[in-house]
Amino acid sequence: IKQGAGWLLAAATPRLAAPRAWALATLAGHLAWVGMAVRLLGDELGFFAPRSAWLRLDWSASWLRWVLCGAAACVPAFELASSLAPSPELGLGALASAAPTITAQITSLDDGLAFALSVFTACASGPFLEEVLYRGFLLRALRQHMPLGLAAPASAALFALHHGTGPGQPTLPLAALGLVFSATFVGSGNLAVSILTHSLWNLRVVALSRLR
């Protein structure tokens, strides 16, 4: 989808600067996936709960506490998992400067508009898409066939593998993050909480990368 969006943008706006074209293509791909995922999971799968039961903006007093607790738990969970990983180059600092990541591509942008679009993609549409898929759908689907103690690690592992397994890809720490996001979702019963927690984590990584 992202590649197709890039082709369309290149054809429609041949003079668009390369950084902006890349940022728009990435954002367009994310938004297309978000739209399809929400429609499919909420309307098409008969075994799945109606969208209103798992994706809602519940602004009761408890949601902020869950977001803040989840955001506070992300760093120690990531760093603890990094210390247990076989490679020593898996801490948050390494993640923030890892060349293959989309974050490195974002923070290398000098174009203000491209940077703003890319930050929105990384900190808004990206977390929304991933939380819909890995917590809103996958975790709930797995729980129909296994206990939560197995479903949460399984969904967290797939979430980590989705981000890659090669050098510079902190698979175990990302799985730990997946567990934190799962805990915020299950504990609050509100997917918006895990989306916001995920967004705050990505914003932290982007900010650290920009400052390096």
The whole-number pLDDT of residue 36 equals 75
Residues 6+ apart with CB under 8 A from 198: 127, 130, 131, 181
* Claim: this prediction has a pTM higher than 0.85: no
CA dihedral of 91, 80, 191, 208, whole degrees rounded to 10: -30
pLDDT tens per residue, the chain (212 residues)? 444 444 444 444 444 456 677 677 777 777 787 777 767 666 544 445 555 555 555 556 578 889 999 999 999 999 999 888 766 545 555 454 443 455 555 555 566 677 787 788 888 888 988 998 899 888 988 988 999 999 999 999 999 988 765 555 678 899 999 999 999 999 988 888 999 999 999 999 888 877 76
Of the candidates 212, 196, 209, the one whose C-alpha atom is nearest the C-alpha of residue 103 is 209
Q: At what angle do helices 191-211 and 61-84 cross, to 10 degrees?
A: 50
pLDDT score at 32: 80
Q: Do residues 196 and 181 make contact, with C-beta atoms less than 8 angstroms apart? A: no
pLDDT tens figures, 73-117: 999 999 999 888 766 545 555 454 443 455 555 555 566 677 787
Report the distance separating Cα 188 and Cα 30, nearest Å. Answer: 26
Phi-psi bin for 200: left (phi > 0), alpha (psi -120 to 50), beta? alpha
